[in-house]
Structure 1
Amino acid sequence: MLQNSLINKYNIAGPRYTSYPTVPYWNEETFSLKKWTSSLRKSFDESNYKEGISLYIHLPFCESLCTFCGCNKRITKQHSVEDIYLNAVLKEWNLYLDLFNEKPIIKEMHLGGGTPTFFSPDNLKRLVEGILNTSERADNYEFSFEGHPNNTTRAHLEALYSVGFRRVSYGVQDYNEKVQKAIHRIQPFENVKRVTETAREVGYTSVGHDIIFGLPFQTLENIEQTILNTKELLPDRLAFYSYAHVPWIKGNGQRGFNDDDLPTPEIKRKQYELGKKRLTEVGYTEIGMDHFALSTDTLYQSMVEGELHRNFMGYTASKTQAMIGLGVSAISDSLYAFSQNEKNLEAYYRLLKENRLPVQRGHILNEEDLVIRTHILNLMCRFKTSWTVNSFYFKELPEVIARLKEMEMDGLINIGSNSIEVTKKGQPFVRNICMAFDLLLQRKQPNTNLFSMTV
């Protein structure tokens, strides 16, 4: 177990680094829709036929509210919203198609939410076919979606399988009934077992489970039992991550229990260490931060080959330079710029009705951003980074090294003459290590608590 003194020392609010710069530090004064589309065209021209592009499609509807969730969602039981929303997403896609001189080649597509399986199988298939009919698939494409164990049917799995999906992930969170009631996510083990086995029967080659530690009322015994259940089903990959409690940002969506119902930072870290130990015993390898995979899964193989990538979808087995986010609140990445769609569903619809891309805000990356982004990606994906006088060096690097000296003394990293490597002991603190490189964070500490705790 990690020493409590290290947990107390490094348990501070910090970004998860699905991007750099992180969203609170985007410079919206220098951003414009014209600059965004120009950067995307440039990225598309450079990378489309070389590696293809990624698509993230945000499907925001849920029939009930899970109180642990920090995603952009709309709670409704009215399924009449499906057609309206999917028509809007396909219109947004067509607006992007107008920017390009050639057909996009899709290497990666992910349906997230919300609850993608809120939508009917026929509607999900219609959505994907509407995109594939106007594009091509890369030879090594990977299509994936998030399914709710309670409402994912064989029809959902078969419909998406028929249009190329081979990976599915299910939100498990925890199997204890008291914890499930607190987070308003009741799903018996039998439901998870059913959808896991059905996916494999249909032909899915990668089934993932999401498990969370640090949930209200969650104990070490709960973690032990959840891993035992996981061992029985043996998903190909796992996200095992810390609950991010940020009700001051997400509002009532993260209430329904009191703050003192949450495990202490020390217990949370013990939950992580116990879960990691048990998963390793089962045969999983830790991938980057918070992710685990069997050696037969593409996520593990990409780590071995040095191809692991991290973006707004988390860790991915493949890298593309251009990622387009479709749907309300979705984030896009051209390498040279980020953009985020309107978070309000009605505003999203209104802009599309006016034949405008529904972009709300964004950030144009400068040369410094690109260099720091590379170092943070290296640390998050490979637990090491390096530089030379002519490559990936920046003038504040000596200050960064000085900030990292104490972490080296604590045994979290090894600092070389032109490199840094995170130790096994330091891997749980990789967010803290990345924060030393985060020049924007160092120059201007946030006035409010914008981030979750790192432990």
Structure 2
Amino acid sequence: MNLENFFAMKSSMIQKYNVPGPRYTSYPTVPYWNEEAFLYQNWIDTLKKSFAESNSKEGGISLYIHLPFCESLCTFCGCNKRITKNHEVENPYIEAILKEWALYCEILTEKPMIKEIHLGGGTPTFFSSKNLEYLINGIFSKAGRADDYEFSFEGHPNNTTREHLQKLYDLGFRRVSFGVQDYSEKVQKAIHREQPFHNVAKVTFWAREIGYTSIGHDIIFGLPFQEIEDVVDTIEKTKSLQPDRLAFYSYAHVPWIKGNGQRGFKDEDIPKDEKKRMLYEIGKKLLFKNGYHEIGMDHFALKTDSLFESFKNGELHRNFMGYSSSKTQLMIGLGVSSISDSWYSFAQNVKKIEDYYQLLETNKLPIFRGHLLTNEDLIIRKHILNLMCQFETSWKDESIYFEEIPEILTQLKEMENDKLLIIKKDKIRVTEAGKPYVRNICMAFDLLLKRKAPATKLFSMTI
């Protein structure tokens, strides 16, 4: 693809639609939570309601466990983390998570069955394999496993050992994702994530030898100093390792939220607009050529991976952990900053470790804010999930029709004229050309965003 031809085809479209917008891991998005109306008891009530429904309908719940420690700061990262080389922090933190889990188990009416666990961070492999074993065994001392459980974790290629992989496999984990980002030494230096290809290859081969059924690599486009040849080289190296699934994320430059953590380079060092989009288009083309299929937004998978199967069968789900092939109604988040989702409400834990410990000492869940979803929220949430997971939505079922639909369709008419979607009597479908703009399409359904546009920067650019 020639750069000049790309500019000619895409420039005006990108300029039109490249605006700040949510990534829709939830609806309502966090900035639009009605925190003032939210009560701690709201979360407890909806937790119990959802748990009863989940046990009967879905056979289990999900757990997200946030492990925030990292030995060094990656300047592209927007996650909640604590930088330290002191590994004595491991035991107290795990004990706190198990205390939080015990508080949840006291609230629930019966022994929970766990269908999904994801260890995120931070760097989960900051923790020793022995301590991770202690954590998981502690969780299951008060819970059972659903028949079709799926456990996953994020591994740092520089510090994930074969012992980590073997121990977590023995505990039931079958999916692992490794943060690659980009193989260019210049880019890696800028984002403070220096890791040679050899390290990624080593942990990938280990995971495959041990028996992991889904190995993922996370790649980012739009990083500082990143050029077309860097993306091509990264995809070609990725091809040689043949991971089962890939996340090909857009770098979200949000220094107004994360402060100096994302200021290890200048704004002018970051690819923007047409150039940034070209990095994605070329990467996507190479992924297609190498047998990967587009799944939702920014994700790709081989036909043999469960993510492809769930997308093909209309069962793909999206939550605060991202895309999942295993849908559960109730997700409990453990650890600092974790967000829980009962479907009917959201609840977020405090972000500072010291506050987290202090609240747990009072035998209270360490929640500091949340949102109780209204009937309107629940309807809009279904439509946005449909668009993000299946690239279409319908209001043929009267239960998810709402009175603003005609107004939304009028707003989407221009996108239909641009051939980004197809509007029918009772549904819309995103076209192949419209997939890069799915966040923009979701924004048309986001009534809260339209009623009160943000006065300050809240979101990253959509393209």
TM-score range, shorter chain: over 0.9
Task: Give deviations 1:118-139, integer Å, cap 9, x for gaps.
Answer: 0000000110110112111111
Corresponding residue of 1:164: 172
Corresponding residue of 2:181: 173
Moved more, 384-393 or 23-32: 384-393
1:440-451 equivalences in 2 (<5 Å): 440-451=448-459
Task: Give deviations 1:49-79, integer Å, cap 9, x for gaps.
Answer: 4321000000000000000000000000000
| 2:79 equivalent to 1:37 | no
Q: Cα offset for 1:6?
A: 0.5
Residue from 81, 86, 97 that aligns with 1:78: 86
The answer on whether the counterparts of 2:10 and 2:274 sit within 8 Å (CA) in structure 1 is: no
Corresponding residue of 1:325: 333
Instruction: State the alpha-carbon separation in 2 of the partners of residues 83 and 447 from structure 1.
Output: 43
Corresponding residue of 2:148: 140
Instruction: State the alpha-carbon separation in 2 of the partners of residues 41 and 394 from structure 1.
Output: 28
| Structure 2 letter corresponding to 1:133 | S
Instruction: State the alpha-carbon separation in 2 of the partners of residues 211 and 66 from structure 1.
Output: 14
The answer on whether the counterparts of 1:49 and 1:105 sit within 8 Å (CA) in structure 2 is: no
Corresponding residue of 1:234: 242
Task: Give deviations 1:415-449, integer Å, cap 9, x for gaps.
Answer: 00010000000000000000000000000001111
Residue from 172, 191, 194 that aligns with 2:202: 194
Corresponding residue of 1:454: 462
Corresponding residue of 1:274: 282
1:41-440 equivalences in 2 (<5 Å): 41-51=48-58, 52-388=60-396, 390-440=398-448
| 2:23 equivalent to 1:16 | yes
| Structure 2 letter corresponding to 1:89 | I
The answer on whether the counterparts of 2:119 and 2:152 sit within 8 Å (CA) in structure 1 is: yes
Task: Give deviations 1:334-360, integer Å, cap 9, x for gaps.
Answer: 000000000111111100011110001
Instruction: State the alpha-carbon separation in 1 of the partners of residues 31 and 323 from structure 2.
Output: 21
| Structure 1 letter corresponding to 2:297 | M
Task: Give deviations 1:91-119, integer Å, cap 9, x for gaps.
Answer: 00000001111110100000000000000
The answer on whether the counterparts of 2:34 and 2:371 sit within 8 Å (CA) in structure 1 is: yes
Aligned residue for 1:451, secondary structure, equals coil
Aligned residue for 1:391, secondary structure, equals helix
Task: Give deviations 1:21-46, integer Å, cap 9, x for gaps.
Answer: 00000001111111101001000011
- Over 3 Å counting, the alpha-carbon distance change for 1:389 and 1:90 in structure 2 is closer
The answer on whether the counterparts of 1:183 and 1:256 sit within 8 Å (CA) in structure 2 is: yes
Q: Cα offset for 1:155?
A: 0.6
Task: Give deviations 1:179-237, integer Å, cap 9, x for gaps.
Answer: 00000000000000000000111111110000000000000000000000000001000
Aligned residue for 2:145, secondary structure, equals strand
| Structure 2 letter corresponding to 1:24 | P
Moved more, 188-197 or 388-397: 388-397
Instruction: State the alpha-carbon separation in 2 of the partners of residues 68 and 417 from structure 1.
Output: 43
What is the aligned-residue RMSD (CA, Å)?
Answer: 0.7
| Structure 1 letter corresponding to 2:366 | P
Gaps of 5+ in 2: 1-5
Instruction: State the alpha-carbon separation in 2 of the partners of residues 302 and 85 from structure 1.
Output: 34
Q: Cα offset for 1:389?
A: 6.6
Residue from 13, 27, 31 that aligns with 2:34: 27
| Structure 2 letter corresponding to 1:22 | T
Gaps of 5+ in 1: none
Residue from 5, 8, 12 that aligns with 2:12: 5
Task: Give deviations 1:10-29, integer Å, cap 9, x for gaps.
Answer: 00000000000000000011
How many correspondences in the alignment?
Answer: 455
| Structure 2 letter corresponding to 1:113 | G
Q: Could you state the TM-score of these two structures normalised by the residue count of structure 2?
A: 0.98
Aligned residue for 2:37, secondary structure, equals coil
The answer on whether the counterparts of 1:412 and 1:423 sit within 8 Å (CA) in structure 2 is: yes
Aligned residue for 2:195, secondary structure, equals coil
| Structure 2 letter corresponding to 1:297 | D
Aligned residue for 1:267, secondary structure, equals helix
Residue identity over aligned pairs, in percent, reads 68
The answer on whether the counterparts of 2:336 and 2:353 sit within 8 Å (CA) in structure 1 is: yes
Q: Could you state the TM-score of these two structures normalised by the residue count of structure 1?
A: 0.99
Instruction: State the alpha-carbon separation in 2 of the partners of residues 90 and 426 from structure 1.
Output: 44
Structure 1 segments of 4 or more deviating over 6 A?
Answer: none
| Structure 2 letter corresponding to 1:13 | P
Moved more, 341-350 or 60-69: 341-350
| Structure 2 letter corresponding to 1:9 | K
Q: Cα offset for 1:399?
A: 1.1
